Amino acid sequence: MDQHVPRAITVGLRSRGVDVVTAYEDGASKLDDTVLLDRASELGRILFTRDDDLLAVAARRQREGVPFRGVIYAHQLRASIGACIHDLEIIAKAGEPEDLIDRVKYLPL
């Protein structure tokens, strides 16, 4: 989870048994978006964001062929907290992390 994700989403996912690490917990909340995406990849994690700037970083990497572990994006006004929790739980429990390598997934599903 990047620093733009409401705590309620993290709490909701954890209450459903989904393994989540926040940028704050990792000490990465002040990192530039590019470095934060690299950090998530180092940890072998997909990065969930509601930040348009981070979405642009991921799109640029796709165009340039720069690898990353994956990004899941939900617009702050178009995906409710409940919808984010529901959809992220489905992705976490039904998918494989490899499914999102070098990809961007948009919520709601």
What one-character-per-residue DSSP string does 1-65 give?
--TTS-HHHHHHHHHTT-----TTTTT-TTS-HHHHHHHHHHTT-PEEE--HHHHHHHHHHHHHT
pLDDT in the model for residue 67: 96
Judged on CB neighbours under 10 Å (0-12, 13-18, 19+), 24 is middle
pLDDT in tens, the chain (109 residues): 999 999 999 999 999 999 999 999 999 999 999 999 999 999 999 999 999 999 999 999 999 999 999 999 999 999 999 999 999 999 999 989 899 999 999 999 9
pLDDT score at 103: 97
Positive or negative torsion for Cα 86, 2, 34, 78: positive
CA distances from 22 to 3, 12, 35, 64, 107 (A): 7, 13, 15, 27, 19
**DSSP H or E run through 85:** helix 81-94
Q: What is the pLDDT of residue 97?
A: 87
Whole-angstrom Cα Rg for the chain: 13
The answer to whether 34 touches 64, Cβ cutoff 8 Å, is: no
